[in-house]
């Protein structure tokens, strides 16, 4: 019975670490997306100012 609880604890620890990792990756993706949108809008404004 003790081995089962140790295995369950290990599985739980790995699962939580995996979820935390996925959360960090998602958060980095959100910030990268925001940065990309800002850069694209800046480029569009730059091109429009040069044209007009």
The tens digit of pLDDT for each residue in 8-47 reads: 777 777 776 777 777 887 888 899 999 999 999 999 999 9
Q: Total structural domains in the chain? A: 1
Alpha carbon 20 to chain centroid, angstroms: 10
Q: Does pLDDT of 1 surpass 60?
A: no
Q: Which domain holds residue 38?
A: 1-52
The span from the CA of 13 to the CA of 1, in Å, is: 19
User: What confidence tier does 5 reach under pLDDT thresholds 50, 70, 90?
Assistant: confident
Tally the C-alpha atoms within 13 A of residue 18's C-alpha that lie toward its C-beta.
6
From residue 6, give the alpha-carbon distance in Å to each of 1, 9, 38. 9, 5, 48
The pLDDT assigned to 4 comes to: 67
Residue 41: predicted pLDDT: 97
Q: Report how far residue 43's alpha carbon sits from residue 48's, in angstroms, rounded to the nearest whole number.
A: 9
Note the pLDDT of residue 3: 61
């Amino acid at each position: 019975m003790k081995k089962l609880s140790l295995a369950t604890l290990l599985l739980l620890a790995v699962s939580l670490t995996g979820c935390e990792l996925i959360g960090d990756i998602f958060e980095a993706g959100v910030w990268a997306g925001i940065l990309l949108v800002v850069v694209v809008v800046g480029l569009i404004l730059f091109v429009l100012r040069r044209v007009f």
